């Protein structure tokens, strides 16, 4: 056999090895791609969408006397399940406190956080917010017999606050000299107001309007402080697929006036004629 023959054989072997190596690389990439499950496919495979909601914040998210989740956010959660999975019952409600709304997304305990979640720059660094469906401001509730109608009246007094709320952040930043007494749960904070452990309670005005209607010995004489804020669903940072789906869903719901209907069903009976739908509702569009 000639040197030329051996040279040709060696060249063929080298080429074969190169082809096999490239093929293997291609197969590895293909396997990696196949191993990736989209966030929406994962929800569909699970058969339930996990949504974080409140258990003690009527009329937005609460547990009724029969142990069922009810409220404005619950209507939205059920509609999301219906349009994503074909059945409104295919939602798993994960109960959360205000200060845990970001953490349940980061730790993959939920797919979506509703829970009356106000959009802020700080939160937007940690989660991705979809389009808003409500607008809200901070209000202050106090006893009628000792009504607080001006922030200066809180000098030397205690202000009751829920941890992890925009009210906590706002007062810490703008009125650091006002003493805050903080609680984890809404029920604890409102009981503290009734027990006289503070002169007033700061929270979302949309919640306070509902609460004072049920508790007529109290008033919301400071109806709005700071900027108007927006409430929106949130997903884990970087989950663009689910975020895009939610934004499309919210735009669809907006076209059918879903949130005005939800207001009439859930919020109007609570607010009466003191609050109108357009005061709080956003029909699923970018702000």
Residues listed for the chain: 287
Say whether 136-229 and 39-133+232-276 share the same fold: yes
> How large is the average pLDDT for residues 96-104?
95
The whole-number pLDDT of residue 109 equals 97
pLDDT reported for residue 275: 84
pLDDT tens sequence across 172-207: 999 999 999 999 999 999 999 999 999 999 999 999
Q: If you average pLDDT over residues 218-241, what whole number do you get? A: 94
CATH architecture of 39-133+232-276: 3-Layer(aba) Sandwich (3.40)
Q: Are 207 and 98 in contact (CB under 8 A)?
A: no
Query: If you ran DSSP here, which 8-state letter would residue 265 be given?
Result: I
Can you tell me the distance from the alpha carbon of 138 to that of 244, in angstroms, rounded to the nearest whole number?
Answer: 29
Which residue stretches of the chain are H helix? Answer: 3-35, 39-46, 72-85, 103-106, 121-124, 166-174, 186-194, 205-214, 240-255, 258-262, 268-271, 277-280
CA Rg, the chain, in Å?
26
The whole-chain average pLDDT of the chain stands at 88
Burial per residue of 134-148, b for 16 or more beta-carbon CB atoms within 10 angstroms, e otherwise:
bbbbbbbbbbeeebb
Query: What are the extents of the domains in the chain?
Result: 39-133+232-276, 136-229
Distance CA 287, CA 112 (A): 20
- 56-96: pLDDT as tens digits: 999 999 999 999 999 999 999 999 999 999 999 999 999 99
User: Considering only CA atoms, which of 214, 219, 168, 174 is closest in space to residue 189?
Assistant: 168
What band does 238 get if pLDDT is binned at 50, 70 and 90? very high
pLDDT digits (tens, 9 = 90+) for 149-175: 999 999 999 999 999 999 999 999 999
Pairing between β-strand 49-53 and β-strand 91-95 as defined by DSSP bridges: parallel
Cβ count within 10 A of residue 194:
12
HSE-CB of 216 using CA atoms within 13 angstroms: 0
Q: Are 183 and 162 in contact (CB under 8 A)?
A: yes
- pTM > 0.85: no
Render pLDDT for 131-149 as a digit per residue (tens, 0 to 9). Answer: 999 999 999 999 999 999 9
Q: Give the integer Cα–Cα distance in Å for 207 and 118.
A: 13
Residue 44's pLDDT is what? 96
pLDDT at position 274 is 75
Tell me the pLDDT band of 30, cut-offs 50, 70 and 90.
very low
Q: How confident is the model over 207-222, as pLDDT tens digits?
A: 999 999 999 999 999 9
User: pLDDT above 90 covers what percent of the chain?
Assistant: 80
The mean per-residue pLDDT over the stretch 231-242 comes to: 97
- Residue 29 has what pLDDT? 43
Asked if pLDDT for residue 15 goes beyond 70, the answer is no
Higher-scoring residue by pLDDT: 287, 108:
108
The answer as to CATH 3.10.20.90 being correct for domain 136-229 is no
CA–CA distances in Å: residue 142 to residues 160, 171, 172, 214, 225: 10, 16, 19, 14, 15
Task: In whole angstroms, give the CA distance from residue 276 to residue 285.
Answer: 19
Please give the pLDDT value at position 287.
53
CA distance 123 to 106: 12
Is the predicted pLDDT of residue 31 greater than 80, yes or no? no
């Amino acid at each position: 056999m000639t040197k030329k023959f051996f040279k040709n054989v060696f060249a063929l072997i080298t080429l074969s090895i190169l082809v096999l190596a490239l093929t293997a690389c291609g197969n590895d990439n293909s396997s990696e791609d196949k191993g990736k499950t989209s966030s929406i496919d994962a929800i569909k495979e699970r058969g339930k969408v996990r949504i974080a909601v409140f258990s003690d914040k009527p009329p937005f998210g609460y547990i009724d006397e029969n142990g069922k989740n009810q409220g404005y956010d619950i209507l939205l959660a059920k509609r999301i399940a219906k349009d994503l999975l074909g059945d409104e019952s295919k939602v798993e409600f994960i109960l959360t406190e205000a200060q845990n709304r970001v953490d349940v997304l980061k730790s993959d305990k939920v797919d979506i956080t509703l829970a009356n979640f106000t959009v802020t720059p700080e939160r937007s660094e940690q989660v991705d917010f979809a389009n808003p469906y409500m607008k809200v401001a901070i209000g202050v509730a106090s006893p009628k017999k000792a009504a607080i109608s001006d922030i200066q009246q809180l000098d030397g007094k205690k202000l009751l606050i829920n941890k992890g709320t925009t009210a906590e952040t706002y007062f810490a930043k703008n009125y650091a000299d006002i003493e805050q007494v903080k609680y984890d749960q809404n029920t604890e904070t409102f009981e503290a107001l009734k027990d006289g452990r503070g002169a007033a309670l700061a929270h979302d005005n949309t919640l306070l309007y509902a609460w004072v209607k049920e508790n007529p010995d109290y008033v919301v004489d400071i109806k709005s402080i700071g900027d108007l804020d927006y409430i929106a669903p949130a997903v884990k940072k970087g989950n663009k697929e689910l975020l895009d789906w939610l934004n499309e869903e919210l735009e669809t719901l907006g076209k059918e006036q879903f949130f005005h209907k939800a207001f009439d069903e859930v919020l109007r009976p609570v607010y009466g004629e003191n609050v109108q739908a357009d005061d709080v509702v956003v029909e699923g569009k970018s702000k």
